[in-house]
Amino acid sequence: MARKSLIHRDLKPENILLHSRSKGNFDIRIADFGFALDLSKPTECANSQTYICGTPGYMAPEAALGRGYSLKSDIFSIGSIFYSILTLRNLFPGKDHDTIMK
């Protein structure tokens, strides 16, 4: 999404969809842009850059600490998703949101 100057801010497995028009051929699609920021609109970013949003366990550490979001925040989320897929474990284990955020 870097070409579009968007930061999704809530990438997680539930927001990644597979679409197929023919058997064995899939397109990856990203859904739920409710928390997305458009970097081409500076006033929008200034007002909501440090607003903490996203899903614990997939959220970049700098975002969880209230330091704001960047395109790298989404890269961290994608890495966390891949970690979960490859290991069948969450990157940050915990029984509830507070434990995961700590």
Q: Is 10 a catalytic residue?
A: yes
* SS (HEC) of the chain: CHHHCEECCCCCHHHEEEEEEECCEEEEEECCCCCCEECCCHHHHHHHCCCCCCCCCCCCHHHHCCCCCCHHHHHHHHHHHHHHHHHCCCCCCCCCHHHHHC
Q: Which of 10, 27, 32, 98 is catalytic?
A: 10
Question: Annotated catalytic sites, by residue?
Answer: 10
